Amino acid sequence: MKEILEQQWHHRPEAEVIEALATTLESGLDATEVGHRSEQFGPNAITQKKGKSALTLFLLQFHQPLVYILLAAAFVTSFLKEWVDAGVIYGVVLVNAVIGFVQEAKAVKAIEALAQSLTTTATVMRGGERRQIPAAELVPGDIVLLQSGDKVPADLRLLSSRELQIDESTLTGESVPVQKQSGTQPRDTLLADRLNMAYSSTLVTYGIATGVVVATGNSTEIGRINEMIASADILATPLTKKIARFSGLLLYVILGLAAITFVVGVLRGESLINMFMAVVALAVGAIPEGLPAAVTITLAIGVSKMARRNAIIRKLPAVETLGSTTIICSDKTGTLTQNQMTVQELYAGGDSFLVSGIGYEPVGEITTGNEAVEPTQHHALHECLTAGMLCNDSVLLEVDGEWRVEGDPTEAALVVAARKGGLEREQLSAALPRLNAIPFESQHQYMATEHGSAERRIIYLKGSVESVLERSSHALSRAGELMPLEPDDCHRAAAEIAGKGLRVLAFARKERINPTADLSHDDVTEGMTFLGLQGMIDPPRPEAVAAVRVCQGAGIEVKMITGDHVITATAIARQIGLIGGTGDAGQLLALNGRDIEALSDEELITVVRQNAVFARVAPEQKLRLVVALQATGNVVAMTGDGVNDAPALRQADIGVAMGITGTEVAKEAADMLLTDDNFSSIEAAVEEGRGVYDNLVKFITWTLPTNLGEGLVILAAVFAGVPLPITPVQILWINMTTAVLLGLMLAFEPKEPGIMSRPPLDPRQPLLTRELVTRICLVGFLLLVGSFGIFEWELRRGSSLEAARTCATNIFVFGEMFYLFNCRSLRHTMFRIGLFSNRWVLAGVSLMLLLQLLFTYLPVMNTAFGSQPIGWLQWGLIISASLIVYIVIECEKWLRHRRSA
């Protein structure tokens, strides 16, 4: 019987479903059968995947080439008994490991949050009795009773229902509750359109129903999502990939140079101890000890900046990934749109009207032909708005200056439209108090309310265009008189409004004189007076429209992936600018879930680049879309808020969850949360991410020439057979102090102008371009010439070895100091970006200058680092050599700019 969980049930008749599950509607399963099925199918709970142990996760943080290099540096400094420096390096390694461990451990919480989303109890029929049991005890074949407020405890095939509405937004992305009903549906019906199914973890918002359990635990739709979350790949970020490649290369280069140095020195007759010290100096000099700390701190500063722009980063590398993003896949409802239904068009008395304003704030006006209309001067329009206000169960409230709605979003839009027309609910309700109502039922497709007094009553009707027109015999004119009803004109107006993606409702009224009975369906079967149409939509956020334009200008493609209908999605996409009036050249307007399902993985890779809108998309299809985009080398950011979005959020290079409307599952699977659920915050985060990436590249471009120069100086000394110009301890002093006081100041560098006018970085582009590698080699060579030259010059003048080494050390420090100003911009001079735009750099330079004076003149430092005071002549040479570095690099920038112009 276990194969029943793999079946599709929506296309099978109720009697066949009950027979296949060997149950009965009246009495359900007996205790014996429940016991057998519990053993066979297990508990109705999501199985937790067994992952790596905490210790394994922690130890894996050290399994990186860069960490190997740092541990080697720490070992070397420990060997030299430089315990402070060794402690600092070990501390850097440990902090990075802890951060990585914490972030990775958080990622697996998505499945835990998903497991907790199951309900705790369910109402069932067992052995002919109605019982309430823990949801985990449900088995296939159980008869479950649902009512308003329940969370659906398992996947159910509905057997009967009355006015049932279920909020499936967390599963399908549908923005409004879905009207459910029993009956059969075609086999190829999409998940979001299966009206005779109720899915685990969705919420009953209205009505009652009876259903039979067809899937439990991992076999439910939410269980399948859990499987996809667990199987989705967690991709390395562009930065981590590039640093891993760079670190691996650097490891082999250091080992190779150390071996060559040792062999050459021994062949030249140097002692093994001296060559061992030379190799140690070379290794320490070539290792960029400050790089991991700089990366972590720069990313952390980016996190702080993004938080101020409504983007909370959960995983540090996501900061840089945003800057490399090439495609943003965004949900529609609430992210690109207001998530507040708004009436935008009206049709009454044969005239068409536009309504300004967006969202629930009742500010706007009604116009026709660019002229404002006073509803009291147009009776049909006034009555149409009145019907929308009174035939309504939703309430509009202002709380702390913010407009909110209690009730259905569609009805809220009607209330707001009436308020914009000058109508007040209190006054209307006082004049026409509600007496009776017929609630909306899916089989009738309308709602009716009765207002007035015992002697004279008015019925207002609201519903689908077809249901209202077939009950209407005439229409109301603008002068308030009855006129012949023209159904064709009404259908044409409705089709024109619906063609723009708006949801259309029709309105009618009827008077009852001296009624003898309560309001019934018979009272609205005929004789209604047609009042008009109201068309509404969840409108785009104005700031989202601007943000999409900025992203497109930055070379970032924006795609909409939604569970909503194709027409609505296409209309919003056109307003936002994702597609043109009739589609871009060679580009389809939209694909729906059925289109995607029919495509192979290879076909999808081609088609996904040609389309900007994907509607009625199922969870596994969102995952397929992300994988298809990544297959062509794109860095994909994916937004989402529901349980159905979690697998795609986890698979994407950066998952972006909604902080306000997002489920815990989505938040746990994401790398970033938006505190305002606004697409414009993604654009702001991308901008900050690009700034962070720029600053990281600036730091790496700044720090590597020092390591290169130090390594070359050691090599030159070994090959020339002279004492080392700088000792291992002095090298550590240079690397650690300058990295903290100079290099890290680049993390505070403000974003350069035009940062969002550049195309996104090619993910395949190396961390350092050929231009930057050339610059690094040039600066490294200048430091070699300057330090080795002044070292040899001092020795020939008769200065002590300590004084010569002090001069060489200062060449490196002051050369880095001047080169720091070159690196504030990799393209422009520091004067163009503003000499004082980063005061942290000036503060760092001042502190470094003070430390270097202490290094040179303080006796304690002389003893610790083997330095010695030097005179004005030496300082003049040091400053001159360092200034040459700055001038040469500025000339190199100018030549490159001139060549590219």
**So which residues are the catalytic ones?**
331
**In the block, residue with structure tokens 């720490």:** 74
C-alpha–C-alpha distance, residues 244 and 236, integer Å: 10
Residue 23 CA to residue 631 CA, distance in Å, equals 47
Name the pairing type of β-strands 366-368 and 351-355. antiparallel
SS3 sequence of 27-89: CEECHHHHHHHHHHHCCCCCCCCCCCCHHHHHHHCCCCHHHHHHHHHHHHHHHCCCHHHHHHH
Distance between terminal CA atoms of the chain?
74
Q: Which two tokens stand for residue 198?
A: 């109720």
CB 642 within 8 A of CB 666: yes
Between the CA atoms of 522, 523, 528 and 532, what dihedral angle is there, to the nearest 10 degrees?
Answer: -90
Q: Which of 182, 123, 179, 112 is nearest to 151 (CA)?
A: 123
Structure tokens at 185: 């549906």
The helix/strand/coil state of 287 is: coil
> For residues 694 and 751, is the Cβ–Cβ distance under 8 A?
yes
User: Is residue 758 within 8 Å of 827, Cβ to Cβ?
Assistant: no
State the Cα–Cα distance between residues 647 and 325, nearest whole angstrom. 19
- Please work out, in degrees rounded to the nearest 5, the angle formed at the alpha carbon of residue 813 by the alpha carbons of 811 and 818: 90
- The residues pairing with 297 across neighbouring beta strands, listed in sequence order, are none
What tokens appear for 203 in the block?
């919420």
Distance CA 335, CA 678 (A): 5
**Secondary structure of 195-251 in HEC code, one letter for each residue:** CCEECCCCEEEEEEEEEEEEECHHHCHHHHHHHHHHHCCCCCCHHHHHHHHHHHHHH
Rounded Cα–Cα distance for residues 755 and 688 (Å): 9
- 154 — phi, psi (to 5°)? -160, 175
CA 331 to chain centroid, in Å, comes to 10
Beta carbons of 678 and 206 less than 8 angstroms apart? no
Residue 205 phi/psi, 5° resolution? -100, -20
Report d(CA 516, CA 636) in Å as an integer: 65
Q: Which helix (H) or strand (E) holds 403?
A: strand 402-406
Which residues, other chains included, contact 435 with Cβ-Cβ below 8 Å and sequence gap of 6+?
450, 451, 452, 457, 519
Task: Please report, for residues 617, 702, 836, the alpha-carbon distance to residue 747 in angstroms, rounded to integers and kept in the order given.
Answer: 41, 12, 15
Residue 538: phi, psi to the nearest 5? -85, 105
- 134 three-class SS: strand
> Residue holding tokens 């590698």?
773
- List beta partners, residue 122: 133
The pairing of strands 342-348 and 121-126 is unpaired
Do residues 476 and 482 lie in contact, with contact meaning Cβ atoms separated by under 8 Å? yes
Tokens at residue 842, please? 């000036």
Question: In residues, how long is the chain?
Answer: 901
Q: Angle at which helices 65-79 and 272-286 pack, to 10 degrees?
A: 140
Q: What gap in Å lies between CA 867 and CA 860, rounded to an integer? A: 10
CB-based burial label for 787 (10 Å; 0-12, 13-18, 19+): buried
Helix/strand/coil for 482: strand
What is the rounded CA–CA span in Å between residue 10 and residue 183? 8
